[in-house]
């Protein structure tokens, strides 16, 4: 059985020797192909980020805020980030009232 360190060294040397060939192939590839490969590589990262971001309270409001901001809506010379916050807050006020009840800080009891 070969030593794992020797295998790693051999693989590293093989990749190093083959890198000019792969670099020239990638430079000759169409830009759209490279963009597609980058997008595919990011799918798992985006999925994890979205699942983490939109799993708690106010998830629908956060999603609407993100989508409006992403759509780059500009009204009355005011940019998309403002309208994203407005749309997200209104969505949460109208459709996620139960989330507001759970987010209030506890009140102090007198006495």
pTM over 0.85: no
For the purposes of burial, counting CB atoms within 10 Å of the CB of 62, is it exposed (0-12), middle (13-18) or buried (19 or more)? buried
Q: Average pLDDT by consecutive 10-residue portion of the chain (111 residues)?
A: 84 90 87 87 83 77 83 82 86 78 62 54
Burial of 84-105, coded b for 16+ CB within 10 Å and e otherwise, reads beebbeebbeeebeeeeeeeee
- Within 8 A by CB and 6+ apart from 75, the residues are 83
Quickly list H helices, 1-111: 4-28, 31-53, 59-71, 80-95, 97-102
């Amino acid at each position: 059985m070969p030593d794992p360190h020797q295998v790693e060294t051999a693989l590293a040397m093989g990749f190093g020797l083959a890198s000019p060939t792969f670099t020239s192939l990638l430079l000759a590839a169409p830009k759209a192909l490279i963009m597609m490969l980058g997008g595919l590589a990011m799918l798992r990262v985006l999925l994890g980020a979205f699942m983490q971001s939109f799993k708690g309270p106010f998830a629908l409001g956060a999603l609407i805020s993100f989508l409006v901001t992403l759509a780059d809506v500009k009204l009355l010379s005011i940019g998309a980030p403002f309208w994203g916050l407005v749309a997200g807050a209104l969505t949460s006020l109208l459709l996620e009232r139960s989330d507001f009840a759970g987010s209030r800080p506890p009140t102090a009891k007198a006495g």
